[in-house]
Amino acid sequence: MQAGGARSLPRHRTPPRGRVPRRPGRRVDPRRGRVSGGEERAPLQQVRPGLLRMLRGLHDQPAFVLGRRNEVLASNDLLDALFTPFNHRPPDERNLLRWMLLDPAARSLYLDWAQVTSEVVGVLRAEAGRNPHDPRIAAFVAELRSVSPEFRTWWAERSVVERTWGIKRFDHPVVGCLDITYGALSLPGDPDQVLFGYAGKTDDDLEKLRIPPVGTPSPPLAPPPSARTRTRTRTQSRRNRTRQANKTSARRRSARRTRTMITRCGPLTCGVS
């Protein structure tokens, strides 16, 4: 006790230099200075509102943003028309790699399905290497290994692929075969988000990329004619038929007069040879 009745404060021992203080329920690796036995949970990814507006403003190019586990974080209507309507799916069902592996429509869409899908598996392995303690990536890998033999084979190959640019070939059920060029752009300030843009390889491919968006309503049918319009139409039809009948009668009368004159006058008198 100190003089004047003041309480003595508890002393905290400062750990030696180079050591990391322990935390309850978690172990410390003294060689790395890292906490082990716990998992680092990466924050949920969200796309900036300005980028969303930019995607919606692209009316002749499919575009989308992928997250670290190949989630389609955002896409425009043309991308949904080319692939599948990701915007109409729940957030946990918008994974591009899961769709490519498990949806038969994806296998029919990509003319080089095995090559393209194995490359996307290599992209996922690269992300797993950059985020080794992300439990969501680990759970996603475990899920795909349990349901896809192709994924198990490609994952065991340990190939790492980085997204850059290239060409892809499609056989779309609406517009047929088309080739596209794509580019991947890592977004500054948005960690682990990649913007993809597609463009037609030729002018014909560019025209085919203008696929009608999913859910586009059919053109409205013409309204039925009103009673007044129907009456006007019937009256006009009767007038047209009357005119045509009058013209036909006039031609017949003229022909009869000509025959009568020839009969009365004779060919020589009437100047007919």
pLDDT score for 230? 62
What is the biggest distance separating any 2 CA atoms in the chain, rounded to whole angstroms?
A: 161
Query: How far is 133 from 143, CA to CA, in rounded Å?
Result: 17
Q: H-helix or E-strand containing 34?
A: strand 34-36
Calculate what percentage of the chain has a pLDDT beyond 90.
42
State pLDDT tens for residues 144-196. Answer: 999 999 999 999 999 999 888 999 999 999 999 999 999 999 888 887 889 99
Domain boundaries, the chain: 49-208
DSSP secondary structure, 156-225, as one string = HTT------EEEEEEEETTTEEEEEEEEEEEPTTSTT-EEEEEEESSHHHHHHT-PPPTTPPPPPPPPPP
Assign a CATH topology to domain 49-208: Beta-Lactamase (3.30.450)
Place of tokens 């019937």: 234
pLDDT at 35: 37
Between 48 and 219, the more confident residue is 48
Whether the per-residue pLDDT at 43 is higher than 80: the answer is no
Positive or negative CA dihedral for 157, 160, 163, 165?
Answer: negative
Residue 159's pLDDT is what? Answer: 92
